[in-house]
Amino acid sequence: MRSPIHVANLDRTCGACHSNASAAFARVPVHSTIDAASNPVPYWVKTIYTWLVVAVIGSFVLFILLDLFGRLRLKLGWGPHETHHVDPLEWPDEDRLVAPGEKFMRMALHGRLQHAVLVSSFLLLVVTGVPVFLHDLGLMRSVIDLEGGYVLRSQLHRIGAIGLIGLSFWHLAVLALNPKARRWAWSMMFRPRDVLDFAQEMNFNLGIGRWLERRALLRPLFARWPELAGVERPCRGRYGLVEKLEYGAVVWGNIVMIATGFILWRPDWFLDWMPSWTFDVARRKAEQGRGSPWSLAGRRSSTDRRPCSSERASGTAAARAATLSRSMKTALHFALLLPLAACATAPIEPADSQFISLSKGTLSGITTPGVHVAGDAASWKALWADHARVLMPAPALPAVNFASHVVVFASGGSRPSAGYALSVQRVHAEDGKLVVEARESAPGTGTLQAQVVTNPYEIVLVPRTKSELVLRVLH
């Protein structure tokens, strides 16, 4: 069992680069396959969650389109007119209750700070997490370079994670200690009336309630709930179904992102007592959890622009809803600019490039030491033909996507015997050049080796670049 990749030796092999790597850490499925036969739990979790995300985002887009259609319909005078829940005969001075220019604070300082931390932490997680998930794209490589390379990016990502975790505990502490906050949380609970109000509002936006009411199939439904006809907009509470779903989405997204983030951060803590497929599930859920900006972006669309709620039934409430305090704007600006400022002020360090090994060996028709580059299909075909001319039978030409990658052939040159090997260790930017670092190993003194000329090499794919490529061989 001398092989470094034997299951009994994996913890020691992993420990060469990862301190405190345990047997559980060595079981982390780095290149696992997600399919129903060999890995059913991650497969079905991924499938269900993917469809759920598509359905949620699709529903959100449909809601916005219906809301915009309702506004257009009212502007053009089609169907039912806008509902006024305050009788002007009963409140003749409604328009004079609020002095011109008077402002009302929508949210206390405590709530504004929580929103600022939420938005800034979440955006920082997205800005530093998505480029790793999509690292094969050239644009994402540029974003990682902007963030100061992989090391600084990971530090910024952890700062965002700490902010999100701290906010979650902060929010729970406020709910536990503040009676007013608990009453607010109770108002965010789902009630059957929320669904009825939502359906009524959608029918009002469409303006076809009377037409639906005359359909024989739907008559029993409208007889039971006549308000569904949508002749007028519902006068609901401050928070309707959409606002409650948005709050629930933020809570659920925080739980998923924090739980999966902990598992990905320290798998050795969890895989001692959890099955290995937990890591696959965590990796997929962390990737999909970043789709939640729809929730944050939708807050303004669903709350600020909807013209009717019980709070907005009076001129005073209308002014309160229409006025956004200066401090709230400042908090939002701070939240949006913080992640960008963190990236923009970060020192640009040499960033390691992700490379993919295509072939590796000791027999090649290319005997010149150094780095040979193929940036298109024609040059790659010629380079491969030169390399494979001494191989019998000649191997097939590997497929390469030259839109995103170039081929780098690292050659150690001719060696007098067997036992020599060349292995690419790192590809990174340095002084305007892309340096390919490869380690060459030689046979030990006194060892018996075949007396044949060898040409150790490795062929790797690196992200497409305009920088000069240089080979640096470490002995």
Phi, psi angle pair for 392, to nearest 5° = -130, 120
Asked if the bond preceding 393 is cis, omega within 30° of 0, the reply is yes
Given this model, what pLDDT does residue 177 score? 92
User: Helix or strand or coil: residue 359?
Assistant: strand
Report how far residue 148's alpha carbon sits from residue 342's, in angstroms, rounded to the nearest whole number: 10
Residue 13 token pair: 């092999």
Residue pair 295/49 in contact (Cβ under 8 Å)? The answer is no
- Confidence grade of residue 3 (pLDDT, cut at 50, 70, 90): low
Mean pLDDT for all residues in the chain:
76
What mean pLDDT comes out for the span 387-416? 85
- Confidence grade of residue 293 (pLDDT, cut at 50, 70, 90): very low
Higher-pLDDT residue of 7, 421: 421
pLDDT in tens, 113-133: 998 999 899 888 888 887 777
Given this model, what pLDDT does residue 360 score? 86
Ranges assigned E (strand) in 335-404: 356-361, 370-374
pLDDT in tens, 275-292: 777 777 776 665 555 444
- Closest to 198 (Cα-Cα) out of 245, 263, 242: 242
- Confidence grade of residue 167 (pLDDT, cut at 50, 70, 90): very high
Given this model, what pLDDT does residue 162 score? 93
pLDDT in tens, 59-91: 888 988 998 998 898 888 888 887 766 666 666
- Confidence grade of residue 168 (pLDDT, cut at 50, 70, 90): very high
DSSP state of 415: B
What mean pLDDT comes out for the span 243-270? 83
pTM: 0.57
Residue 445 has pLDDT above 70, yes or no: yes
